[in-house]
Structure 1
Amino acid sequence: MGVTSKIAPYGGVPTLFVNGEPQVGMAYITYFQENNRYEDFAKAGYNLFTFATFFAGQTINETSQIKPFSPGIFDVKGQEDYTDFDRSVEQILKACPNAMIFPRVNMSLPAWWEDENPDELNDTGYGGNRRRACFSSKLWRRQSEEFLLKLIDHVEASSWCDHIVGYQIASGNTEEWFSFDQKGSIGKASRERFLEWGGDVSDEVGYRQFLSDIVADGIAYLAGVVKARTHRRLAVGSFYGYTFETPFWQSNHMGLRRLLNCGDVDFLCSPASYMRVRAPGRDWPCMTVLDSLKLHGKAYFVELDTRTHLSKFPKDSREGSTVPGTYEQPIWLGPESPEVCRWILRANISRQLTHGYNSWWFDMWGGWYASPELMVELRDLREIGASVLHGTDRRSIAEVAVFIDETCYSHLPDGRALGYRIAAANRDQLGVCGVPYDIYEISDFEAVQSNYLACVMLIPAMTADMERALARCKQADLPVLVVSQENPDLTTNALREFYADCGVWNWCDTDDVIYASNDLVAIHAATAGKKLIRLPQLQEIVPLLPGGESFTDDVIEVELEQYETRLFALKS
């Protein structure tokens, strides 16, 4: 039969199971294999790993022209080469013999295929670069399928196949299904396919939405290919659904509804938000509609490429790895303070554990976490994750739901600024007002609206589904705060006032980051000083990080340094 993996409910949230056992959803990956820290993470208790593999050696980011970090399997026509794939698996198994591995498979096609199929490419390349494959192309999909099947067959024939517990399928710019042309993947194939789907040449809104739907359809199709070839034994997922992080139709990420309803896609992934350039003292929200994923039984993995005081520019980790002048901005470096770095890692996992999702530490160029102090922190966080995993109720305790309609961006032909202002930027205030919230795509409104005391509607452009939801709120006497072109900017004061009028519990009123669940509460301090966390009831409180003696109260009072994070267990 071989190894099996699946996503199934456990403690009320979608959870990864391998061979019938629930797993701690914390993994490790690096791009530069020569700088890997597999052994460090194995010693810290990690046994879930992933690595990047590439069908082709073409650039993985058209805007920076960075190349893949290992040779493409299919770079030479008719001569596939799995040497680097096999070596990566063997490196992991050497460090962790019981490793469970789900490779990230970048299916972007080789140059020889694109040269042979000019009609299957986008009309233009980004910034004058070569033209790349169009996601609407049937031949692109067929070739991707052929290569994917060859890789799976290679894995299934290997001696270590039972260590491969799933696949993350990837393609497009930065491996995240963004178009290579950065215009939505527009080409001869997209125009023809739109008409085949029943589109009208005069329907610009419909065409813009189609460009996302066809990408989601391709992901669903290729996930089905993996499912069929592995006899539905393994979990399959993909980057997709950046509804808030890339709030414009050209991103191709506004077809998530198709994947939510696809039985072949088990998990979805994204990095943590880059909002505010990952500033300490702020919430790092999900890029996607997390609670719609959970509602539909999909697990979510956040990519924690969290920079530390040990982070370097890639050119300093591998000579010649980048084009001069690229990847040399401050965002590629972390805080200078090792202690602040530890607190940020703690905040990352506190968010994960209180929100019911999974993660991998993305040690991009290698060595970002290579200090005893950081590895002790990462060990402790995984141990807490293991203890929380078996909690009886890991469901959200949020009393507020935030909704957005992914199709609204198709109504904004040039609406990047507006989409960012309403959908992306307002997550900052939502994350520091002291009130947990859940976040959904509007198509799930009817299924969940009765679970909440209040709603926040983010509306860059009005849609029929959003109008129906607003009418339903009025009928049900459900308080709603509308954020639209007329009222585009949230403030913490406005949110707290609205929540207070609705009877929503406020955990903290000092604009610090609060994460809370049935069993945990954490605070990540935006400023130094005395902080009060108000609990909804009298509870036993156990300091976890840092540790301490338990006490019973309905208030946690702590004196914190700026950016400090503390995590507590709650016991009724």
Structure 2
Amino acid sequence: MKCDITFKRRLCPLLLAVIVTAVFSASLAAAPFRDVAKPVEARIVQHEGRPAIMINNRLAPPRIYALSTDVGLRRTWEEAPRYCLELFARQGMRLFQVDVWLDQMWTAPDRFDIDLARRQIRGLLDVCPDAAVMFRLHVNSPPWWNDLHPDQCVRFADVEVKHLYINPVLSQLIEDLNPRPRHSIASKQWLDQCGEKLAEFCRLLGETPEGNAVFGIQVAAGVFGEWHYYAFVKHEPDTSPAMTARFRSWLRERYGDDRALQTAWNDLNATLAAATVPNVEERFSASAGYLRDPQKERKAIDYFRCQHESVTDAFIHFCGIVKNNWPRPIIAGGFHGYWFKMFGRMAAGGHLEVERALESPMVDFLAAPQTYGHLAPGQSGLARGLVESCRLHGKIFLDEMDVLPAVWRVKSRGQRDGADERLAESIAVLRRNVMQSFCRGGGMWYYELPSVHPHHATDTAISMWDHPEILTEIAKMHALQSKYLNRKYESPADVLLVFDTESFYYSGHKKDIDPISTELLDGVTEELLHAGAAVDMIYLFDLDRVDLDRYRAVIFANLHKLDGEQRELIASKVARNGRHLVWQCAPGYTDGQKLTPENVSSVTGISLAPTRTTKARVSIDSPEIAKVELGNGKVVEPLFVVNDASAIALGRLVESEQTAFARKSFGSHTVWYSNVPMKSRAILRHILTEAGVHIYSDRYDVVYAGSDLLLIHTADADARTITLRNGKTIKLQQSHPSTVLIDINTGDQLFQ
């Protein structure tokens, strides 16, 4: 009897998958995705209020399947990748991504052959003739080029370059976090010469039959092709002659003459001709606690701005080559705009000049893997970048979904123990990760990784998505996205979370120097997404682009640097209409020219005074809020306390009893202030409730909303009540932690 029940349980999902696949196959056979006789033309269009991919005047749901870079899963014509491609083609997938490396085509100074790229496309079209393909094209310089141009390769302030042997069969990406020979991203020779080969690639492939299937090129360079500076996590790039030349050119354009440079750097010996990239000591200097003093540490501030401009300008440069040399319109973009989970190394390897990419007509999309560390069941599944800012600029943000479904996790090689029990977790996480980006107006791709198949006794290079219920879920989400893509896009969020890129130029260079900024980004955001409300997230430079009338609460995260124009914008446009403003730590502590501690009081509207403590712990002990503690218990400087009789004290420093958390009401708005990050979903929910924000869930569930959809991701199976804006309530009683999708207008549960 037990065997019979087990068989039926496994057979039903399999039959459902077969039925769904048959429906998709029949519909696709009747209506091919594209006319294979016509070359593909692609662009990003604004469709019903959201950026969307248009291919040959046909709207394409923003979902893609991407092969791996791993050996055995990257060549379309080989057996295992072919199986994976067929698997997704049967689910209705018609947009695919495959990798190709410049160094595998440009194998010597006088030898350039694009046959590898053509074979990659042919292998896909053999499986799915009406597919459209995006290349992830790695524009890193070939190893032989690095040998010929050592002065154009990255060097490090803290360590010598190591010449590591890389098996040519393996991916050239595997040692990107180690200080090995790689081109400097500031190298003009790399930009020019690899740019010329990219242009040649586009012209040659664009005129081939295989090139007719290409809808986009994702240009890739830097760590893992993700436009991070090489070895940035543990090391200090880039002191190469190439970067030194770029830095001096940048300084000359910024300052014009030696006297202006000497004044800015407070160094009478500084000259434009002899300026050097900062050494380790200069990089780690932060004389204002966790912040840099621009009058003392301008050299490091200037260098990191130059480095980030160099990275983003290189990214735009290669995107522009694609746009200008492909014989037809296609889309171009790549990994860029990473904001969360940057290892406390944002200045060393992040994308702080993302505004340049968002404003460039050469860039159609940004992409990133989802935020590692926020992907477990019950967590937010947060996109790595700010999807809403992308949308405001008419770009589409594409999440890379590379989370191995829990059903494949095994205790050791060949064991299947626990696989069935983890299936519910797999579906909940998959649905959350895929649909959150769609709700926010973005898209995604499924990335392939090797996995362990539960029906085989040994490890097998087979699709990690190859489970009947997972495939059924993928097909269901595809159908849902296709339907709701044609709905008018509106975000129902009434909470706005605002981040600042420039403040990282003035922040300490690693987490033990700056224990605050990472908490303000990763910690506060995760807690806010559990507060039960719908949230939009943007960069400060987009504050004047949004319709502020929609927001009842605006939460400012890491705005350590605010200039006069930015302060005026917030005072005149945000602090009004009964809105609640939430401030944390030391907003406006610098205006970019000098330290301005008095501005912290003027920005918040609350009288604040500097203080010191050995452990920054804040006890919230107010009748209004549940008793909790904030702060990481570390020394925090600068640190402010409330010295304002008209403010209501809500929390105090544990060591000194000084007021550290307060609220103050004005005629036009209300201000909340905490001198440490508000890393508490209970506190944030209380503030949002006081602001009149709509709370969807009566539990601390993850909430995303948009595209007429409401996504609720639960950490447990307890009963909960969901309340829509129109007053409808939905009672949820799940048998396990889950992700529920609800039509935000009708209240219908879309996936049961």
Structure-1-length-normalised TM-score: 0.86
**1:502-560 per-position Cα deviation (integer Å, ceiling 9, x unaligned):** 1110101311122223522222211121021110105xxxxxxxxxxxxxxx0110112
1:280, distance to aligned residue in structure 2 (A) = 0.9
Once the two structures are aligned, what percentage of the paired residues are identical?
A: 23
**Does residue 95 of the first structure (1) align with residue 104 of the second (2)?**
no
Question: Within 2, Cα distance between the matches of 1:482 and 1:339?
Answer: 39
**1:276-295 per-position Cα deviation (integer Å, ceiling 9, x unaligned):** 4x211111112112211100
Give the match's secondary structure for 2:225: coil
Change (3 A) 1:42 1:334: same
Equivalence for 1:367: 463
8 Å CA contact 1:405, 1:463 repeated in 2: no
Question: Within 2, Cα distance between the matches of 1:86 and 1:338?
Answer: 38
The gaps in structure 1 that reach 5 residues or longer are 57-71, 318-332, 539-553
Equivalence for 1:172: 222
**Does residue 495 of the first structure (1) align with residue 681 of the second (2)?**
no
Equivalence for 2:697: 508
Question: Within 2, Cα distance between the matches of 1:300 and 1:419?
Answer: 24
Change (3 A) 1:517 1:379: same
Question: Within 1, Cα distance between the matches of 2:48 and 2:393?
Answer: 15
8 Å CA contact 1:483, 1:490 repeated in 2: no
**Does residue 15 of the first structure (1) align with residue 14 of the second (2)?**
no
Q: Which shows bigger deviation, 337-346 or 15-24?
A: 337-346
Question: Within 2, Cα distance between the matches of 1:468 and 1:305?
Answer: 42
Equivalence for 2:453: none
Residue correspondence of structure 1 range 5-404 to structure 2 within 5 A: 5-31=42-68, 32-33=73-74, 34=78, 35-36=80-81, 37-56=84-103, 72-124=104-156, 128=162, 129-182=179-232, 183-197=236-250, 198-199=253-254, 200=261, 201=275, 203-231=299-327, 233-246=329-342, 248-276=346-374, 278-309=375-406, 311=408, 337-365=422-450, 366-391=462-487, 393-404=488-499
**Does residue 410 of the first structure (1) align with residue 501 of the second (2)?**
no
Which one of the candidate residues 549, 555, 563 is aligned to 2:729? Answer: 555
**1:418-453 per-position Cα deviation (integer Å, ceiling 9, x unaligned):** 322111222211211111111111011122234422
Give the match's secondary structure for 1:203: helix
Question: Within 2, Cα distance between the matches of 1:344 and 1:395?
Answer: 25
1:80, distance to aligned residue in structure 2 (A) = 2.7
Report the AA paired with residue 411 of structure 1. Y
Report the AA paired with residue 123 of structure 1. R
Equivalence for 1:61: none
**Does residue 474 of the first structure (1) align with residue 575 of the second (2)?**
yes
8 Å CA contact 1:106, 1:175 repeated in 2: yes
Question: Within 2, Cα distance between the matches of 1:428 and 1:126?
Answer: 38
Q: Which shows bigger deviation, 4-13 or 335-344?
A: 335-344
Give the match's secondary structure for 1:426: helix
Change (3 A) 1:196 1:127: closer
Q: Which shows bigger deviation, 87-96 or 162-171?
A: 87-96
The gaps in structure 2 that reach 5 residues or longer are 1-37, 163-178, 255-260, 262-274, 276-297, 451-461, 587-674, 747-752
Give the match's secondary structure for 1:456: strand
1:568, distance to aligned residue in structure 2 (A) = 2.3
**1:390-438 per-position Cα deviation (integer Å, ceiling 9, x unaligned):** 11x1221111111111111111242444322111222211211111111
Question: Within 2, Cα distance between the matches of 1:513 and 1:561?
Answer: 18
Q: Which shows bigger deviation, 433-442 or 148-157?
A: 148-157
Report the AA paired with residue 245 of structure 1. K
1:476, distance to aligned residue in structure 2 (A) = 6.2
Give the match's secondary structure for 2:719: strand
Alpha carbon RMSD of aligned pairs, Å?
Answer: 2.5
Report the AA paired with residue 61 of structure 2. V
8 Å CA contact 1:211, 1:252 repeated in 2: no
8 Å CA contact 2:440, 2:707 repeated in 1: no
Structure-2-length-normalised TM-score: 0.66
Question: Within 2, Cα distance between the matches of 1:305 and 1:515?
Answer: 20
**1:44-64 per-position Cα deviation (integer Å, ceiling 9, x unaligned):** 1110100111123xxxxxxxx
8 Å CA contact 1:310, 1:370 repeated in 2: no
Q: Which shows bigger deviation, 201-210 or 340-349?
A: 201-210
Larger radius of gyration: 2
Q: Which shows bigger deviation, 224-233 or 207-216?
A: 224-233
Give the match's secondary structure for 2:117: helix
8 Å CA contact 1:283, 1:431 repeated in 2: yes
Report the AA paired with residue 497 of structure 1. H
Which one of the candidate residues 708, 729, 743 is aligned to 1:519? Answer: 708
Equivalence for 1:452: 551
Equivalence for 1:546: none
8 Å CA contact 1:309, 1:336 repeated in 2: no
Question: Within 1, Cα distance between the matches of 2:413 and 2:145?
Answer: 33
Q: Which structure is richer in relative contact order (CA contacts within 8 A, separation 6 or more)?
A: 1
8 Å CA contact 1:166, 1:235 repeated in 2: yes
8 Å CA contact 1:304, 1:362 repeated in 2: yes
Give the match's secondary structure for 1:112: helix
1:384, distance to aligned residue in structure 2 (A) = 0.7
1:126, distance to aligned residue in structure 2 (A) = 7.7
Q: Which shows bigger deviation, 463-472 or 395-404?
A: 463-472
Equivalence for 2:278: none
8 Å CA contact 1:422, 1:460 repeated in 2: no
Equivalence for 1:535: 724
Question: Within 1, Cα distance between the matches of 2:226 and 2:150?
Answer: 23
Equivalence for 2:599: none
8 Å CA contact 1:281, 1:563 repeated in 2: yes
8 Å CA contact 2:359, 2:393 repeated in 1: yes
Give the match's secondary structure for 1:396: coil
1:132, distance to aligned residue in structure 2 (A) = 1.8
